[in-house]
Amino acid sequence: MQKKIVTSLSFLILISIVFISCKKINESTALGGDIIPGVDGINTFDTTITVEAYNNLFTATNDSFGISRMDGHLLGSISNDPLFGKTNAKIFLELKPNYYKWKFSEILNPDSLHFDSCVLVLGWQGTYGDTTVQQRVKVFELAQTNTFRTDSFYQVRQQYFTNGGLLGTKNFYPYELNDSVKAFKDTTINQLRIKLDNTFGRRLLTGYDTLTAYASDSAFKTYFKGFAIETDAAFGGNALMSFGLATSPNTKLAIYYRYTKNGKQDTTVSYFSYTGFSAHHNFIDRNFTGSPIMASQGGTTPDDHLYLINAPGSYGILKIPALKNLTNRIIHRADLTMEQIYDVSDKTFIAPQALYLDVFDSIRNKYKVVPYDFVPDNTGMGQQLFGMFGKNMVDASGNPIRQWKFNITRYVQNILTKKEPLHTFRLQAHQFVQNEIRLENAYNSGAFVTEFIPVNSSLGVGRVRLGGGNHSSQKMRLRIVYSKL
């Protein structure tokens, strides 16, 4: 199988680490009001500690991300993201009869069936990117040599399958997908319709019968493996479109035909659907060659920018070594703060809905949720209080950006009291994250269990460039509000 600092100046000089000066609090409203004591100019202080940020790419060994049949599947080509390069997404799926033994309009005699047309219909759910750049989609029949199964796990970063013959091609603009479509017995919106080869349609209508392909589901798979749907990257395009399979009544194969029954002719349509026995796969190919995210990889010097993109994507390693040298004190608030560095392309390729922060436990050799502070609940309030969803704001030039403040107050307090070691943090923007969490994480107690933490609602959508700890104006930082003991 998936989703974003401070001590006294004299002490800082003593340990040769650059801190921003210690001062009386003047930003209490920005730090969360009611839990911060009133400023008396003597007992309550704040300080900011610089964070070291390092860019990393997920690989198949540390990110075996798959996709659920209920999720939107991405299709499309991004040819020009100036920060993150190129992306191409393909869909593989089976559409098949809803029952066996299948008969078209209950007709047993294929001579009574007369083919009109065959159309692949995909139920559109949304678009990420530039809707005004034309795309070219191609539909292939999967080669019969493929093994395509419902009980197999497929990573989104791997293709697995080979194409057979080309069945159909269509050029379109993504903004057209919410237009009304009027077709025989199917007038609706939110569809991508691709007319397929007549020879293929005739094979389905009159080439198979209840004694061969339509005898059973297992028999049908030996005659037809499914579809490979992809966009032509060489043609261009600059967006990814989401299509529902199991969740959208629009996704189907429509076979239009006429038939003779009881001496009368009629025109009708039959549908092959995405059923509980249908296999599926979404292949998302990221090509970062020549992009800033690729140029930031490697090296031992902390990065000025941190590049995060949804799966199959990237992550940041965050280190705050100065924390281990802080003396014990009462921590009223500790916010790990990070800001988006604006680029004009952010208007086209939006930031993820949420970022996720966890820590690496070197004793267990696993990533786990942030102790004490990450306490999820069914309402999502725990994630909101933790700071995953961020907020909209503007930078110094008035550009719209996102800012995240992760509340790690209790974790920092327990580091200072020596109850918890200082871990390395990891930041990412995936759809969900598989993490270890203690049963009573608010108290850092109880057995460890593995859970899937939801982060973003969609696979593959959302990317952001953040300021690192070395950024000239929008530094990643840990801001601590405290009182002396």
Residue with tokens 């000089």: 13
pLDDT tens track for 292-317: 999 999 989 999 999 999 999 999 99
Residue (of 238, 241, 231) closest to 125 by Cα position:
241
Residues 42, 484 contacting (CB under 8 angstroms) = no
Q: In 232-362, which ranges are continuous DSSP H helix?
A: 292-295
pLDDT tens track for 435-470: 999 999 999 999 999 999 999 999 999 999 999 999
14, 17, 484 from 9: Cα distances, Å: 9, 9, 15
Please spell the DSSP secondary structure of 288-325, one letter per residue.
-TTSHHHHT-S-SSPPSEEEEETTTTEEEEEE-GGGGG
Output DSSP code: residue 482: E
Looking at residue 10, its pLDDT comes to: 32
Looking at residue 28, its pLDDT comes to: 40
Looking at residue 419, its pLDDT comes to: 86
Torsion of CA 256, 261, 264, 265, to 10 degrees: 10
Residue (of 444, 484, 470) closest to 5 by Cα position:
470
469's enclosing H/E stretch is none
Looking at residue 80, its pLDDT comes to: 94
- Compute the distance between CA of residue 56 and CA of residue 205 in angstroms, rounded to an integer: 51
Could you give the angle at the alpha carbon of 184 between the alpha carbons of 180 and 190, nearest 5°? 25
The string over 128-155, giving b where at least 16 C-beta atoms fall within 10 Å of a residue's C-beta and e elsewhere, is bbbbebebbbbbbbbeeebebeeeeebb
HSE toward the beta carbon, residue 15, CA cutoff 13 A: 16
Looking at residue 139, its pLDDT comes to: 98
Output DSSP code: residue 96: B
For 394-398, the CB contacts below 8 A with 24+ separation are 395/339, 395/342, 395/474, 396/473, 397/342
In the chain, the largest separation of any two C-alpha atoms, in whole Å, equals: 99
Helix (DSSP H) and strand (DSSP E) numbers for the chain = 7, 28
pLDDT tens track for 133-147: 999 999 999 999 999
For 385, phi then psi, to 5°, come to: -65, -30
- Compute the distance between CA of residue 4 and CA of residue 356 in angstroms, rounded to an integer: 6
- Which two tokens mark 198? 């007549």
Looking at residue 41, its pLDDT comes to: 56
Q: Which residues contact 11 (CB under 8 A, 6 or more apart)?
A: 19, 325, 327
Q: Cis omega (within 30 of 0) on the bond before 101?
A: yes
Residues 291, 444 contacting (CB under 8 angstroms) = no
For residue 80, with 0-12 CB atoms within 10 Å meaning exposed, 13-18 middle and 19 or more buried, which class applies? middle
- Compute the distance between CA of residue 200 and CA of residue 192 in angstroms, rounded to an integer: 19
- Which two tokens mark 92? 């593989």
Beta 314-319 vs 52-57: how paired, if at all? antiparallel
Encoded amino acid at 398, one letter: G
- Compute the distance between CA of residue 450 and CA of residue 358 in angstroms, rounded to an integer: 13
For 355, phi then psi, to 5°, come to: -115, 155
Looking at residue 7, its pLDDT comes to: 30
Residue (of 185, 407, 157, 101) closest to 284 by Cα position:
157
Residues 233, 79 contacting (CB under 8 angstroms) = yes
pLDDT lower than 50: segments of the chain: 1-35, 39
For 182, phi then psi, to 5°, come to: -115, 110
Torsion of CA 120, 122, 123, 128, to 10 degrees: -160
| Stated pTM of the model | 0.89
